[in-house]
Chains A and B, each alone.
Chain A
């Protein structure tokens, strides 16, 4: 069946309603995407302010397989604007794809899974309306992101034509993943599975274009990210690759609608396979439950951070070459000396890996709070499970899991770097250096635990607010003249910049003491307070 008026009844109302529900979320996505481009534009224009600096950049980063794998096709690097597009387009396209995935999924399968679609469809709303409305909202967000990127890139001094083409490429990539999510949402009855399918498509698309860009083959044309980057902003300025994205998005939407017509409300085309009729040995303790609930997420984080760590490690050579030819770059890496430029780079990488691990730790601790507010803690705490044992299980997963992430990314970086310079001995030194951040990561987990215990309703806002604060201080702090206490409030500021600086037991002990104190506050408060649902 095709799209007909009665099947689309109520679409406009649903679009307005969805825009109202997302009035905070969508602007945040768009601002983040535009800010990434603005920051890159300003940063690159400051760094590569001479033709010599740009030439050095071209000769090093522009020929580094790792940099190309991470970013995109090395075209247009004769201008700073081209360098900006090379550096940022890949990352911001992933942001657009994720925005599209979460927006489309939230208003289609998530509503259906929660039973809201059933209620909506019982009113004067057509069968296709909820899906088409979700796609329309996501498409509007992609267009807005495209215009925002074009606008800020132009405002930061890049050519307007290329700026808006860059934005259009990003938006077009978002459109494709709007279509992918719409189709994936028809396949499974679970929102998480729909996100899993879409995420896998995104991963494969990124991989195909990375391989294609490295060996210059046509493989990039098998990837929607490859199409979106084929506009080559600021150099070839081609519009036509956008048509591939728009065509694919339209075709995927048609597929999604056709699939929708062949299934019942609430069902998926891939019917859920029957699961285990009895519980395995793992599900016999609160810790077993916490591990079971979080192991899939932890595994995905570990694989992602290990891949990221390997890519960062592989970029060491390019960094070395770049810095030798561009003294301005040294300003970006605090504590850099002529001999230790790569070490300074690695120190920064280790802190970024640690921030990602901290994000996992906080989300993992907050899992305890969401179990509580959803009413799933109640039946467990009504068994012979003490509150301490219950909370301890989630905290254990958060602390050990985040440490595992630091190990995975640090080991990957150290391994690839040691292999690149042919010095097996450096592996142990670099790997040990990456572990220096574990206490700082745990402090952030501790803040989340204290918040869950003492201020449960504000816990998510407090914990993520602290992560945001630490990210800002760690990433931008060294370049800004803030008062000392602003830096001192971040646990990351107390961690030495290993391997440039040397590890100190004092800092590690102090941070660990802070972790213990925060955990004591959280557990003490949680034992004394009412369980709160909703």
Chain B
């Protein structure tokens, strides 16, 4: 497996603030990698280091087999970037901004450009000052997607798009992956990461807390079970791996550590299972496991993970 992005032990401080605190990130060539974390966790700072806009304090960073600081210009020819907060030149039209950014990167495919404008329903003749946040984001997206860059670095690219446009975006990302290109997609929209990403890295407070494919991460989390049995279930709480069991109207709901699923199901069949529903953990749950304690510390009630 060749590696597009490799970051180990990255530290970046701004005065007293430690924005990145030993962050690790590895993105394989050809994968769509989700870069997840709440606001302020260090996603944009990491991306700016990858682009050579910020100089790291310590740690090793490799991007497309180059050094992002020393080889910035050569590397930038091979990548396209969509900033999280797109600001454009108010007096330029969207079409002019797209062409400018495309040309500065080394060229733009006119046919693909016009197809993207059409699909994203963007009017290129309007001055940038009159664009909404979503339209400014579309300008950056069209400029990036119209390129043939081998690596796309997208910082929360859909935060201003409506669901229809988000679907168009997902379609293009799948196309990019099918072409064997690499995508680093930062997001806090979990459904998007679940829909698109081969692997994800979850960061918090400038540190990577978990990394792997969604399947791998699911091993670390729990499955929700709702079961109806002929006879009342006993002894459930004493089984290892069972959490938050609750009974109502002859139904039992609980969460179970995924690696204990088999033994728990064996236990249940002894009571005459009438119906059983199970749901795999969503990324929301992965997130809540990593940030739930933080929310609780801040006095925010953590929602119970119950689903039908």
**Chain A residues at the B interface, C-beta cutoff of 8 Å:** 113, 189-190, 192, 272, 274-280, 283-286, 289, 292-293, 374-376, 378-387, 528-531
Contacts and interface: CB of A to CB of B under 8 A. Distances in A.
B48 interface: yes
A37 B26 CA distance: 68
Given A275-B127, A277-B124, A386-B73, A380 B93 contact: no
A190 B83 contact: no
Contacts of B74: 384
A385 B103 CA distance: 10
A379 B103 contact: no
Contact of A272 (B53, B101, B126): B126
Contacts of A376: 87-89
B121 interface: no
A530 B57 CA distance: 11
Contacts of B169: none
A383 B48 CA distance: 13
Interface string B91-102: 111011111110
A433 B64 CA distance: 56
Contacts of A293: 89, 91
Interface in B78-113: 79, 81, 83, 85-93, 95-101, 103-106
Given A272-B127, A276-B125, A379 B54 contact: no
Contacts of A275: 92-93, 95-96, 125-127
B247 interface: no
Contacts of B96: 275-276, 278-280, 283
A189 B91 contact: no
Given A382-B53, A384-B74, A387-B72, 18 more contacts: A190-B127, A192-B91, A275-B92, A276-B93, A276-B95, A277-B124, A277-B125, A278-B99, A279-B100, A283-B99, A284-B100, A374-B87, A375-B85, A376-B87, A379-B83, A381-B51, A384-B73, A386-B73
Nearest to B53: A531
A379 B125 contact: no
B140 interface: yes
A380 B130 contact: no
Contacts of B129: 113, 189-190
A510 to B, nearest CB: 35
A194 to B, nearest CB: 13
Nearest to B55: A530
A382 B51 contact: yes
Contacts of A190: 90, 127, 129
A531 B48 contact: yes
Given A292-B92, A375-B83, A375-B85, A386 B140 contact: no
Given A275-B96, A276-B93, A378-B53, A383 B76 contact: yes
A279 B99 contact: yes
Contacts of A375: 83, 85, 87
B62 interface: no
Given A272-B126, A378-B53, A530-B55, A385 B93 contact: no
B290 interface: no
A84 B52 CA distance: 59
B77 interface: yes
Contacts of B123: 274
A384 B106 CA distance: 7
A420 to B, nearest CB: 40
A419 to B, nearest CB: 38
Of residues A274, A293, A382, A530, which shows the largest number of chain B Cβ atoms within 10 Å of its Cβ? A382
B103 A283 contact: yes
A381 B53 contact: yes
Contact of A530 (B54, B105, B125): B54
B58 to A, nearest CB: 15
A380 B73 contact: no
B92 A384 contact: no
A278 B114 CA distance: 10
A405 B277 CA distance: 78
B81 A189 contact: no
6 contacts: A278-B96, A279-B96, A283-B103, A286-B104, A375-B83, A375-B85
Top 7 nearest A-B pairs (CB, nearest first) are: A279-B99, A274-B125, A275-B93, A383-B104, A382-B81, A279-B96, A277-B95
Contact of A383 (B97, B105, B125): B105
Contacts of B125: 274-277
Contacts of B77: 384
Interface string B23-54: 00000000000000000000000001001111
Contacts of A382: 51, 53, 76, 79, 81, 83
B138 to A, nearest CB: 14
B101 A383 contact: yes
A380 B53 CA distance: 11
A285 B72 contact: no
A300 to B, nearest CB: 14
Nearest to B106: A384
Interface string B122-138: 01111101100000000
A385 B95 contact: no
B76 A279 contact: no
A113 B127 CA distance: 13
B88 A279 contact: no
A293 B90 CA distance: 10
Of residues B97, B101, B104, B123, which shows the largest number of chain A Cβ atoms within 10 Å of its Cβ? B104
Nearest to B95: A277
Contacts of A387: 72
A272 B130 contact: yes
A277 B81 contact: no
B81 A278 contact: no
Contacts of B52: 381
Given A272-B130, A276-B125, A386-B73, A379 B89 contact: no
A269 to B, nearest CB: 14
B63 to A, nearest CB: 12
Nearest to A371: B89
Contacts of A378: 48, 51, 53, 83
Contacts of B99: 278-279, 283
Contacts of A385: 73, 76, 104
Contacts of A383: 76, 101, 104-106
A276 B51 CA distance: 30
A376 B89 CA distance: 7
Contacts of B106: 383-384
A278 B124 contact: yes
Contacts of B81: 379, 382
Of residues A272, A279, A285, which shows the largest number of chain B Cβ atoms within 10 Å of its Cβ? A279
B91 A384 contact: no
A278 B87 contact: no
Contacts of A528: 55
A378 B140 CA distance: 12
A143 to B, nearest CB: 34
Contacts of A292: 92
Contacts of A113: 129
A384 B66 CA distance: 14
B52 to A, nearest CB: 8
B31 to A, nearest CB: 21
B90 A384 contact: no
A380 B95 contact: no
Contacts of A529: 55
